[in-house]
């Protein structure tokens, strides 16, 4: 089976509305791209982890709609344009999309990821490049955390650089469970993960089983009712977002055992001071490392010294 893509270049003000209208009149899927991609005029759109940009459009946008090969693409464009009140029919081109092995094509886009000195995140359809490395078998999924984002990498590198033989670890906002698994594989004893998303908890538990890691995962409510309700941990790691991290400063700091370490990420470099200030009454934090404009903050409970950057 083959399909036909409709490609329309249009101004930002109409991109999202046209996308929705194309879906309403029969398009199978629609995406919006930067029409200036690959040129000096390209403008990246990004948000913090777990937060999409408020508007998925550019000043010079390209709307791409997938349709059945037998559809009348001109009729679809005209109907969508009319639905959003465009007085002039936008110019468009079409291109044929041949049937492919989409599973194999998608898998080819995800290769093993090398992190830190010895960590490899390896999709299930790949062989590990270094059999002696710290191997995490992890397929891309809905839960955040595959090691591709700088915030995840920073936390993984901290855990690798600070092995925790026998220590207790709390991964708050665990997503896919990747940080909890790294902690376990560098020697931690009891490891616990918490997330507000039930799907993340299910994904994390599956990943832990696949990687032969004994880890307990909880939703916040069940965590509060578990045997860990008042437990303090030797290491607490939270890769979330700067705003919730600030709000959770008393709670997360209160989960750190005396002399224990707190590691925070999901923080842009420009946000580091305000996040550290929110934790200052409880624990002194400093920037451990920075990657691509993101930082990891760390500190030890009971220490008055702000840790130096790596």
Among residues 140, 129, 195, 185, which one has the least CA distance to residue 159? 185
Our measurement of the distance from residue 81's CA atom to the centroid of its chain's CA atoms, rounded to an integer in Å, reads 35
Q: Is 211 annotated as a binding residue?
A: no
| CB within 8 Å of 263: residues ≥ 6 apart | 155, 158, 159, 235, 236, 237, 238, 288, 296, 297, 298
* CA-to-CA dists, residue 163 to 3, 26, 185, angstroms: 52, 55, 9
The Cβ-side half-sphere exposure at 59, using a 13 Å CA radius, reads: 5
Among residues 186, 110, 181, 108, which one has the least CA distance to residue 148? 110
Q: Is 152 annotated as a binding residue?
A: yes
Residue 97: Cβ-neighbour burial (10 angstroms; 0-12, 13-18, 19+): middle
* CA-to-CA dists, residue 297 to 80, 157, 233, 268, angstroms: 49, 12, 17, 11
Among residues 8, 13, 1, 54, which one has the least CA distance to residue 30? 8
Q: Is 173 annotated as a binding residue?
A: yes
Q: Which residues of 289-302 are buried (b: 16+ CB within 10 A; e: fewer)?
A: bbeeebbbbbbbbe
Binding-site positions for S-adenosyl-L-methionine read: 152, 173, 195, 239
Which positions make up the binding site?
152, 173, 195, 239
């Amino acid at each position: 089976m083959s399909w036909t893509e409709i490609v329309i270049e249009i101004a930002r003000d109409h991109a999202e509305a046209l996308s929705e209208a194309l879906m309403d009149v029969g398009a199978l899927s629609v995406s919006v791209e930067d029409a200036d991609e690959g040129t000096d005029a390209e403008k990246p759109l990004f948000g913090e982890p777990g937060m999409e940009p408020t508007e998925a459009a550019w000043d010079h946008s390209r709307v791409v709609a997938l349709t059945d090969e037998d559809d009348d693409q001109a009729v679809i464009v005209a109907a969508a344009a009319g639905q959003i009140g465009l007085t002039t029919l936008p110019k468009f081109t079409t291109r044929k999309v041949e049937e492919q092995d989409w599973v194999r094509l998608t898998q080819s886009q995800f290769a093993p990821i090398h992190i830190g000195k010895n960590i490899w995140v390896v999709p299930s359809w790949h062989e590990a490049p270094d059999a002696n490395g710290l191997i995490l078998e992890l397929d891309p999924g809905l839960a955040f955390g595959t090691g591709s984002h700088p915030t995840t990498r920073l936390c993984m590198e901290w855990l690798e650089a600070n092995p925790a033989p026998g220590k207790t670890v709390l991964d708050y906002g665990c997503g896919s469970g990747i940080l909890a698994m790294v902690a376990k594989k560098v020697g931690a004893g009891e490891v616990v993960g918490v997330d507000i998303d039930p799907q993340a908890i299910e994904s994390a538990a599956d990943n832990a089983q696949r990687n032969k890691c004994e880890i307990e995962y909880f939703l916040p409510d069940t965590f509060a009712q578990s045997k860990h309700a008042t437990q303090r941990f030797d290491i607490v790691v939270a890769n979330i977002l700067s705003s919730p991290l600030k709000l959770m400063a008393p709670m997360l700091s209160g989960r750190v055992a005396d002399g224990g370490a707190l590691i925070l990420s999901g923080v842009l470099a420009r946000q580091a001071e305000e996040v550290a200030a929110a934790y200052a009454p409880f624990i002194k934090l400093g920037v451990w490392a920075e990657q691509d404009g993101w930082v990891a903050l760390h500190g030890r409970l009971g220490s008055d010294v702000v840790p130096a950057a790596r």
